[in-house]
């Protein structure tokens, strides 16, 4: 039965109040998160937009550009990933890029309007000799006046400290899905391994970028479980990427039932309400989303995107197309 306006109003007051008071130790219960996901769509996006407006400029979107600095040949078995050496995909194992190549890409990203440059490597964890190269990349990209981000797999405390000293601003390491579903997707590293890396990143005082993927064949309960984990971190991630699975030929998840994009918007909305101060990134999957869906995501509280023709190995809308969308929506970019 439809909620009465009074109920919607009271619910909105409850959740918006809770969002606005979310401090370090504010916990979200599974029931509250479930309640949000199960709301009528319009009530949910209305609430999410209210929280968004209370915490951010609703007409500004942050632009991050990705570059794969080491592609393919990865030892892990993440079921969604074309870069795993275990699956037969079109992605080849290529050596790490040179610092010059990375700087060239970063300059182009800056010129196109990105404020952050994210360097991704297909590693289980970095070796010291590779980390030394990445540190040089971080120093050089930062010198261009860009924020720096890296995603290199698992880190220990010492490695996180080294990256911090090199000037790294953000580290991306996703939880991907709920603890319950995780084992169906990845067997070569545990959920706890991921939480440990995130703790090392936090201890090194690097901003945390941590989110997940939807469309993996998970249940609603798993999406609730993912948000529950993210929103209840002792300190919420500064950046929360929500990826829609890009299905790649040769990966185990190729052929998974297509995800309802309105449920993607629900996930963005619940992330926004439960993590009111975090940048929520509309991440992989934009290539298959119509402008209307992306616009709904911005309304529901997404305020960051990956910007540039390529993600790591798969496509992303081109810059002209994105610029046109920003213009049509009067969005300013940061
Ligand atoms: N190798 C590092 C690691 O996994 O920790 C860093 C790079 S990895 C590609 C970063 C994240 O990209 C994954 O955790 C996953 O959330 C996302 N990702 C990878 N392949 C994807 C796909 N096909 N569709 C959507 N997201 C994907
Ligand atoms: C994140 O959450 N999404 C990005 C980034 N962090 C590293 C990666 C998306 C990868 C999509 C598949 C590919 O291009 O290989
Ligand atoms: Fe390797 Fe990262 Fe791909 Fe997993 S997601 S297979 S760790 S590159």
Contact indicator for 72, 91 with CB cutoff of 8 Å: yes
Closest CA to 298 of 320, 279, 323: 279
Model-level pTM? 0.97
What are the pLDDT digits (tens) for 24-61? 657 899 999 999 999 999 999 999 999 999 999 999 99
Round to whole Å and give the CA distance between 227 and 240. Answer: 10
Return the ligand 1 atom nearest residue 153 CA: 5
Q: How far is the CA of 207 from the centre of ligand 3 (A)?
A: 21
**What is the pLDDT tens value at each position of the chain, 334 positions in all?**
456 666 667 777 788 778 877 656 578 999 999 999 999 999 999 999 999 999 999 999 999 999 999 999 999 999 999 999 999 999 999 999 999 999 999 999 999 999 999 999 999 999 999 999 999 999 999 999 999 999 999 999 999 999 999 999 999 999 999 999 999 999 999 999 999 999 999 999 999 999 999 999 999 999 999 999 999 999 999 999 999 999 999 999 999 999 999 999 999 999 999 999 999 999 999 999 999 999 999 999 999 999 999 999 999 999 999 999 999 999 999 9
- Known catalytic residue at 210: no
Check pocket membership of 153 for ligand 3, CB cut-off 6 A. Answer: yes
Q: In angstroms, what CA-CA distances link 213 with 162, 186, 210, 227, 311?
A: 29, 13, 11, 11, 14
* Ligand with the closest atom to the CA of 152: 1
Looking at ligand 3, which residue's alpha carbon is closest to its atom 8?
A: 122
Give the residues surrounding ligand 1 with Cβ less than 6 Å away.
Answer: 80-81, 120, 122-123, 151, 153, 173-174, 176, 213, 243, 245-246, 248, 284, 312
Question: What residues are in contact with ligand 2 under a 6 Å CB criterion?
Answer: 66, 82, 120, 151, 172, 174, 211, 241, 243, 246, 283-284, 311-314
Q: What is the pLDDT of residues 121-142, one digit of tens each?
A: 999 999 999 999 999 999 999 9
Active site (annotated) includes residue 281: yes
Q: Which of the 8 DSSP states describes residue 275? A: S
* pLDDT at position 17: 79
312 within ligand 3 shell (Cβ under 6 A) = no
Task: Count the neighbouring beta carbons within 10 Å of the beta carbon of residue 212.
Answer: 26
In the block, tokens 């300059």 appear at 107
Q: What is the pLDDT of residue 20?
A: 75
Cα-flanking dihedrals φ and ψ of residue 223, to 5°? -70, -40
């Amino acid at each position: 039965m439809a909620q009465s306006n009074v109920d919607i109003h009271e619910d909105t007051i409850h959740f918006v109040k809770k969002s606005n008071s979310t401090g370090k130790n504010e916990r979200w219960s599974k029931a509250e998160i479930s309640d949000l996901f199960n709301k009528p769509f319009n009530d949910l996006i209305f609430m999410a937009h209210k929280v968004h407006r209370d915490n951010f400029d609703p007409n500004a979107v942050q632009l991050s550009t990705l570059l794969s600095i080491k592609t393919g040949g990865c030892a892990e078995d993440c079921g969604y990933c074309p870069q795993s050496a275990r699956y037969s995909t079109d992605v080849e194992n290529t050596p790490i890029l040179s610092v010059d190549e990375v700087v060239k890409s970063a300059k182009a990203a800056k010129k196109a309007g990105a404020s952050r440059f994210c360097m991704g490597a297909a590693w289980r964890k970095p070796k010291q000799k590779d980390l030394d190269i990445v540190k040089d990349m971080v120093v050089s990209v930062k010198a261009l006046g860009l924020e720096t981000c890296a995603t290199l797999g698992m880190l220990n405390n010492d490695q996180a400290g080294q990256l911090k000293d090199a000037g790294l601003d953000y580290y991306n390491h996703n939880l991907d899905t709920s603890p319950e579903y995780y084992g169906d997707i990845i067997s070569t590293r545990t959920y706890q391994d991921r939480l440990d890396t995130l703790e090392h990143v936090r201890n090194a005082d690097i901003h945390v970028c941590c989110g997940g993927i939807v469309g993996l064949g998970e249940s609603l309960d798993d999406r609730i479980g993912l948000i529950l984990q993210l929103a209840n971190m002792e300190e919420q991630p500064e950046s929360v990427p929500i990826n829609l699975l890009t299905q790649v030929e040769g990966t185990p998840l190729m052929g998974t039932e297509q995800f309802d994009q309105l449920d993607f918007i629900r996930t963005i909305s619940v992330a926004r309400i439960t993590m009111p101060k975090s940048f929520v990134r509309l991440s992989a999957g934009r290539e298959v989303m119509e402008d209307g869906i992306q616009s709904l995501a911005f309304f529901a509280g997404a305020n960051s995107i990956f910007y540039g023709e390529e993600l790591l190995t798969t496509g992303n809308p081109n810059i002209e197309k994105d610029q046109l969308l920003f213009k049509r929506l009067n969005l300013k970019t940061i």
